[in-house]
Amino acid sequence: MKPFWSQTAVALCVLLASGVASAASKLTPAECNDYPFTPLSKSVTHAQLMQELSELESVGYDPAAGDESYYPSDIQLAQARLRLKYRADCLGEDVKVPTTRIESSSALLAPM
């Protein structure tokens, strides 16, 4: 039987890790006021594109999925999810944001 403190430490680590993961998934105020959510007066930077890709991946987009037969519907679905995430994190609306991996399938062709 493991000592009580060992079990407690493991439970605390899991709890902290899940808290950090959920906190990291929210858009920050700086992200809410930057590309792709606000119009830009100049060209998009590489850093902004990489941030957008990271945000798209956070809502289930996988650019390495390999099956391009449903492109651009898979990225359009991710962009729609990202708009929901913006509404939830930046506007404070009570909307559910799906984060499951977007599968390349014919279901992506159905309108949202």
pLDDT tens sequence across 49-74 = 999 999 999 999 988 876 777 778 88
- Is 42 contained in some domain? yes
Higher pLDDT, 23 or 61: 61
Answer for the pair 102, 62: CB distance below 8 angstroms, yes or no.
Answer: yes
- Is 39 contained in some domain? yes
CA distance 71 to 50: 19
Answer for the pair 53, 66: CB distance below 8 angstroms, yes or no.
Answer: no
Degrees (nearest 5) of the Cα angle 65, 69, 75?
60
Q: Which among 44, 31, 35 has a CA at the least distance from the CA of 89?
A: 31
Position 40 confidence tier, pLDDT thresholds 50, 70, 90: confident
- Is 15 contained in some domain? no
The full length of the chain comes to 112
Look at the block and give the residue holding tokens 């590489």: 46
Degrees (nearest 5) of the Cα angle 19, 24, 13?
30
- Is 20 contained in some domain? no
- Is 16 contained in some domain? no
- Is 56 contained in some domain? yes
Number of structural domains the chain divides into: 1
- Is 2 contained in some domain? no
Least confident of 37-41, 43-47, 52-56: 37-41
Give pTM, 2 decimals.
0.65
- Is 9 contained in some domain? no
Distances in whole angstroms, Cα of residue 79 to Cα of each of 20, 29, 45: 24, 19, 19
Question: Which domain, by its residues, includes 72?
Answer: 26-109
Judged against a pLDDT cut of 60, whether residue 41 lies above it is answered with: yes
pLDDT for residue 3? 55
